Amino acid sequence: MNYPNGKRKSLNQNKFKQTNQGYSNRGMSLESDINVTNTYYLETDQAIIHKKPTPVQIVNVKYPKRSAAVITEAYFKQASTTDYNGIYRNKYIDFEAKETKNKTLFPLANIHEHQIKHMESIIRHGGICFFLIRFSPFEETYYFPAENLFPYWYEKQKDGRKSIPYPKIKENGTIIPFHYQKRVDYLSIIDKLYF
Is residue 139 assigned to a domain?
yes
State the pLDDT at residue 79.
Answer: 66
pLDDT tens-digit map of 145-189? 999 999 999 999 999 999 999 999 999 999 999 988 899 999 999
How many domains is the chain built from?
Answer: 1
Residue numbers belonging to the annotated binding site? 81, 83, 96, 115
pLDDT of residue 183: 94
Does position 117 have pLDDT exceeding 50, yes or no?
A: yes
Q: What is the pLDDT of residue 128?
A: 98
* Residue-level pLDDT at 76: 65
Indicate if the pLDDT at residue 17 is higher than 70.
no
Q: Residue 138's pLDDT is what?
A: 94
Ramachandran class of 28: left when φ > 0, alpha when ψ lies in -120 to 50, beta otherwise: alpha
User: DSSP assignment, residue 80?
Assistant: -
Q: Establish if 4 belongs to a structural domain.
A: no
Count of residues in the chain: 195
Range of the domain at 182: 26-53+80-194
Nearest to 80 by CA among 115, 105, 38, 47: 115
Is 6 inside any structural domain? no
Per-residue confidence (pLDDT) for residue 22, from 0 to 100: 39
Q: Which of 37, 64, 35 is nearest to 190 (CA)?
A: 37
Phi, psi of 137 (to 5 degrees): -60, -30
Q: Look at residue 84 and tell me if it is in a domain.
A: yes
Neighbours of 122 (CB within 10 A): 21
CA distance 142 to 134: 6
Cβ neighbours for 47, distance < 8 A, ≥ 6 positions apart = 38, 41, 86, 87, 88, 89, 93, 187
Q: Confirm whether 187 is domain-assigned.
A: yes
* pLDDT tens-place string over residues 69-95: 888 887 766 667 889 999 999 999 999
Residue type, 138: F
pLDDT tens string 26-75: 434 899 999 999 999 999 999 999 998 776 777 788 888 777 888 888 77
Domain for residue 189, yes or no? yes
Q: Does the pLDDT of residue 23 top 50, yes or no?
A: no
User: If 0-12 CB within 10 Å is exposed, 13-18 middle and 19+ buried, where does residue 131 land?
Assistant: buried
Q: Is residue 131's pLDDT more than 70?
A: yes
Question: Which of 63, 39, 58 is CA-nearest to residue 49?
Answer: 39
Q: Is residue 64 part of a domain?
A: no
Q: Is the pLDDT of residue 8 over 60?
A: no
Instruction: State pTM to two decimals.
Output: 0.77
132/146 Cα distance (integer angstroms): 10
For the annotated binding site for Mg(2+), the residues are 81, 83, 96, 115
> Quick check: is 7 in a domain?
no
Distance of CA 23 to the CA centre of its chain: 20
Residue 109 pLDDT greater than 80, yes or no? yes
Q: What is the CATH number for 176? A: 3.40.1350.10
1-14 residues labelled b (16+ CB within 10 A) or e (exposed): eeeeeeeeeeeeee
Q: Is 103 exposed, middle or buried (0-12, 13-18, 19+ CB in 10 A)?
A: exposed
